[in-house]
Amino acid sequence: MTIRSYHLDSGAGLAGLTLREHPDPVPGPGQVAIAVRATSLSFRELMILRGDYVLPVKPQVIPVSDGAGEIVAAGAGVDPLRIGERVMATLFPSWQDGPFGLEHLPQRGGSLDGMLTEIALVEEESLVPVPGHLSYEEAATLPCVAVTAWNALTGADAPRPGQTVVTQGSGGVSLFALAFAKALGARVIATTGDPGKAARLRDLGADEVVDHRAVPDWPARVRELTGGRGADHVIDVTGHLERSLRAAAIGGQVACVGFVSGASPIDPRVLFASGATVRPIAVGSRSQFLAMNKVIEANGLHPLIDSVFPFDEAHDAYRHYASGKAFGKVVITV
């Protein structure tokens, strides 16, 4: 038998995403074969297309870190009774718990093959069960941006009921952070530059929405909305850390998740004046993934999906995601 997989060289652009046939892979010791049912795209996939992803990417990698499917074969040392389980895989296979370290750098869809394939070989130690109420399409949205959002919120000091969380825009991390913050009892102030998306953010539970185009000094507005105190948590996905620091309360936390709007310099005086802690976030560990899933299950949360594309239309899925028009995750079914 043969299977099909997409392959890509970092920096090759969408034209470099090619579909190939391979012999049906056989799991080795400690591995399982997963029949992938769905994958989802995140910003890292666009960075790999452009060639500016911060971690190593091997030549002709099978891309996409996120996916969910069913175990169809087990290698030596794996309980064969696991065949048939619905599972996801962590982005960093060796990162089980504790702080991130260089030993955990190998990552799925980068230095390791990813999930944009019909059958994926995955280490048993990196498996995470799919929450029972989620479809494969919903589960496929979790491994990268959902775990990142969970780590950003809870990796140091989780928000307590009544505290304020600021989210930025309507990308995957921000939408998950909004959902998790509300589930934890926090007040959420969301920022956006799109009035149409502002209404949707309110519908998803945002207590306040600040249009950063209409109100360029949105940190000042956050302070107004918090009685001058500032936010307890700011989830920074834009790279404009100075603004996030000005929006944060003394003793607050700024989670540095990404730089979708480009990086900007930080005035050290702003950092000292803020009294806030800045934490860079590298997705999260398997234990954080499992803890997140408990909250997802307990609250009956469903990831927001913008659109679903079939496997043969992966290029169209990438184009739609890159357009910036999606509100919610872009999923590719296999």
Q: How many residues does the chain have?
A: 334
pTM here is: 0.95
β-pairing verdict for 187-192 and 86-89: unpaired
- Write the pLDDT tens digit of every residue in 125-183: 999 999 999 999 999 999 999 999 999 999 988 999 999 999 999 999 999 999 999 99
Radius of gyration from C-alpha coordinates of the chain: 20
- Report pLDDT for 263: 61
- Write the pLDDT tens digit of every residue in 310-323: 999 999 999 999 99
Q: What are phi and psi of 147, to 5 degrees?
A: -65, -35
Q: What are phi and psi of 137, to 5 degrees?
A: -60, -45
CA–CA separation, 294 vs 296, rounded Å? 5
- Write the pLDDT tens digit of every residue in 10-64: 999 999 999 999 999 999 999 999 999 999 999 999 999 999 998 999 999 999 9
Average pLDDT over residues 280-294: 96
Interior angle at CA 168, CA 166 and CA 170, nearest 5 = 125
Helix (H) / strand (E) element for 245: namely: helix 241-247
